[in-house]
Amino acid sequence: MLLSVEGLTIEAGGSRPILREVSLSVGQGEIVGLVGESGSGKSTIARSVLRLLPQHARVSGRVLVEGDDVLTMDPGALRNLRASRVSMIYQDPRSSLNPVRRIGDFLTERMVHTLGRSKAEARARALELLTAVGMREPELRLRQYPHELSGGMLQRVVIAAALAADPALLLADEATSALDVTTQAETLALLRKVQSERGLGMLFITHDLHLAAAFCDRVHVLYAGTVVESRPAKELFDDPRHPYTAGLLACTPDLADPRPIQPIPGRPPSLDDVFDGCPFAPRCPHAADVCLTGRPEPVTVAGGSAACHLVEV
């Protein structure tokens, strides 16, 4: 397995852990979705793959990249992991780019510093990468500043930079959420193209379950720092087994299926909300007594698992 997160628990001072016993995996050449509301812990999972942990965090479990545990690897191996094995793409490309440096400097500096390329090699590689992500006039782009490019073009530059070291794994953290719909569609098509051409594994993080179901092979649904359902995308979409997943699908408008939109009652829990039982119970339309006292373990359902006391196997 390319990425294997096993029983990852992260506590950073709140009343409950940020992540509790999270397990998920990404195979080579596979796109795996990680879906959940804001604050559910998605970015914390992505950052832990690069061992970017909250300060003073208590961490247990394992994060394996090609079998190597990121949480215990020595500094040299960690540098190598961050420089060339795993790349992260963030939501806002402008936060990755320095506004007063040219695109060319952004693309080549890392290659010179962390990969030891010569300046000429790095420049040639930057041109090649800009072409690979569909940028016209790549020579001109190298001389431009971030403010001269649109958000969609900047996200292409960031994707090019993420590919520079030929990583095996891409972490896309809301990488298309800030883009308008047409640019989002172009960027998704580009991500899929580079992913399949290079046989990359991708952890695709989004708050949009419909998008994840359409774009990913498998999807993990996160709620209050726990994985509540893990299924192949089609099964998840056609027959969600956790009430939270069903709730997320029912509260998104769908032109093809014009049914009433049903919001999930209540609000997403904060780190101060503590649960004895199922974290979703306070908002769940089906909650029974057992849900308020016992924490549900994942049970096997068609193609994957769901952590719900009431799930019918």
Ligand X SMILES: Nc1ncnc2c1ncn2[C@@H]1O[C@H](COP(=O)(O)OP(=O)(O)O)[C@@H](O)[C@H]1O
Instruction: Give the interface with ligand X as residue ranges (CB under 6 A).
Output: 12, 18, 36, 38-44, 54, 271
Residue nearest to Mg ion (CB): 43
Nearer residue to ligand X within complex by CB, 165 or 172:
172
Q: How far is the CB of 192 from ligand X (least distance, A)?
A: 22
Binding piece for Mg ion, criterion CB under 5 A, among 42-50, 77-85, 148-156, 215-223 = 42-50
Looking at the Cβ atoms of 12 and 73, the one nearer to ligand X is 12
Report the partner that residue 146 touches, choosing among Mg ion, ligand X, none (CB closer than 5 to 8 A by kind): none
Distance between CA atoms of 269 and 146, rounded to whole angstroms? 37
x-or-dash string of contact with Mg ion, 181-210, rule CB under 5 A: ------------------------------
**Which one of ligand X, Mg ion, none interacts with residue 243, CB within 5 to 8 A by kind?**
none
Burial of residue 76 (CB within 10 Å: 0-12, 13-18, 19+) is exposed
Q: Is 43 in the site for Mg ion (CB under 5 A)?
A: yes
Q: How many residues bind to Mg ion according to rule CB under 5 A?
A: 2
In angstroms, the CA 123 to CA 130 distance is: 11
Backbone angles phi, psi at 201, to 5 degrees: -90, 145
User: CB under 5 A: which stretch of 37-45, 122-130, 187-195, 278-286 binds Mg ion?
Assistant: 37-45
Q: Is the dihedral of CA 34, 37, 40, 43 positive or negative?
A: positive
What three-state secondary structure class fits 290?
A: helix
- If the CB atoms of residues 39 and 134 are measured against Mg ion, the closer one turns out to be 39
Tell me the closest approach of the beta carbon of residue 42 to Mg ion, in angstroms.
5
Q: State the nearest-atom distance from the C-beta of 76 to ligand X, in Å.
A: 25
R_g of the chain computed on alpha carbons: 20
Q: Which is nearer to ligand X, 91 or 195 (CB)?
A: 91
Q: Which does 54 bind (CB under 5 to 8 A by kind): Mg ion, ligand X, none?
A: ligand X
Q: Closer CB to ligand X, residue 106 or residue 244?
A: 244
Select the binding partner of residue 33 from Mg ion, ligand X, none (C-beta < 5 to 8 A, by kind).
none
Nearest C-alpha neighbor of 133 from the set 164, 107, 156, 105? 156
In terms of CB distance, is 43 or 184 closer to Mg ion? 43
Beta strands in 36-181, from DSSP E residues, in sequence order:
58-65, 68-69, 86-89, 169-173
Q: What is the dihedral of CA 72, 75, 80, 85, to 10 degrees?
A: 20
In angstroms, what is the minimal distance from the CB of 45 to Mg ion? 9
User: Least distance (Å) from ligand X to the CB of residue 209?
Assistant: 13
Q: What is the maximal distance between C-alpha atoms in the chain?
A: 67
Binding at 125: pick from ligand X, Mg ion, none (beta carbon under 5-8 Å per type): none
Supply the minimum distance, in Å, between the C-beta of residue 9 and ligand X. Answer: 13
Pairing of strands 299-301, 226-232: unpaired
Whether the CB-CB separation of 229 and 245 falls below 8 Å is answered with yes
Contacts of 128 (CB under 8 A, 6+ apart): none
Say if residues 280 and 263 touch (Cβ distance below 8 Å).
no
In the complex, which residues of this chain contact Mg ion (CB under 5 A)? 42-43
